[in-house]
Amino acid sequence: MKQDDALIQVRSVTKTFAGAGESVTPLKDLDLEIQRGEFVALMGPSGSGKTTLLHLLAGIDTPTSGGIVVAGTDVARLGARALAKWRNQHVGFVFQQYNLVPVLTARENVELPLLLTRLSQAERARKVQVALEAVDLSDRASHLPRQLSGGQQQRVAVARAIVAGPELILADEPTGNLDEKAAYGILNLLKELHARFQQTLVMVTHDPRAAAAAGRVIHLDKGRISGAAQAEVQA
Ligand SMILES: Nc1ncnc2c1ncn2[C@@H]1O[C@H](COP(=O)(O)OP(=O)(O)OP(=O)(O)O)[C@@H](O)[C@H]1O
Ligand SMILES: [Mg+2]
């Protein structure tokens, strides 16, 4: 991996949430680089700003100050429309609560990111099929989310995150809602997809075993990165 091949560059980023009362600053002068193709686990106590950081990387939220460049684009400077388009092309997001649309089938949920592209219906159907196969759910394509187990719903969410071929996958405690067996299944799936498609994967987790699967662990604490232990070996 080339050292200068950074997919993500975070430059002295501060994020302050100003409320009615006290303001909160979960991220303070944060600097961070993530190389293309890396699998990074993001850890830290509750409230340390892990979700906030992921949202900034995805352009779901903007920093109070500082710069965020992802895949050559300064995401903090894009307008809402351009940002939505950019995100759709470059980022796949996996949420702890799956966030599937309840009235759409697994197949339709996975197709959602493709509806904003110029692909034909046949091309979309083919990509959806490939993504559902990648998460081993082709046989559940016509099921609604409520007809699927938690682990299966999260597989659908992973398929939705990868279907458009984004170079960055962001996962916020993707195994947090699952029992041990299902959690292990999702973790293995993410590992396997990362190895197969070589995307950059940033995963928030509280699970030391999940972190052990990553190439690098970043610890967030009190707005800063602490002891960014670099485990070079893939577990
Ligand atoms: N939209 C918001 N408005 C106001 N405060 C917010 C907002 N989002 C997050 N915060 C605050 O910022 C801090 C960091 O929140 P964040 O969700 O990033 O933590 P986290 O590390 O993901 O925690 P957890 O492990 O519990 O998910 C918290 O104090 C939270 O209350
Ligand atoms: Mg969080």
Q: What is the pLDDT of residues 68-79, one digit of tens each?
A: 999 999 998 888
Ligand nearest to the CA of 28: 1
Confidence grade of residue 232 (pLDDT, cut at 50, 70, 90):
very low
Residue 1 lies in a domain: no
- Domain of residue 156, residue span: 6-226
Query: Could you report the per-residue pLDDT of 128-154, keeping only the tens digit for each?
Result: 999 999 999 999 999 999 999 999 999
Query: Could you report the per-residue pLDDT of 85-110, keeping only the tens digit for each?
Result: 899 889 999 999 999 999 999 999 99
94 Cα to the center of ligand 2, angstroms: 12
Q: How far is CA 76 from CA 11, 35, 70, 95, 194, in A?
A: 11, 19, 10, 22, 26
Residue 232 lies in a domain: no
Sheet containing 73-74: order of strands = 24-35, 6-17, 65-70, 73-74
- Best mutation site among 16, 23, 24 for ligand 1, i.e. most ligand atoms within 8 A of its Cβ? 24
Residue 233 confidence (pLDDT): 40
Residue 218 lies in a domain: yes
Residue 210 confidence (pLDDT): 87
Residue 233 lies in a domain: no
Instruction: Show the tokens assigned to 70.
Output: 């992802």
Taking alpha carbons only, the member of 17, 7, 125, 110 closest to residue 68 is: 7
Residue 235 lies in a domain: no
Residue 51 lies in a domain: yes
Listed range (126-135, 180-189, 221-230) with the worst mean pLDDT: 221-230
Residue 227 confidence (pLDDT): 58
Residue 45's domain is classified under what CATH number? 3.40.50.300
Residue 66 lies in a domain: yes
pTM of the full predicted structure?
Answer: 0.92
Our count of domains for the chain comes to 1
Residue that has been written with the tokens 């961070």 in this structure: 32
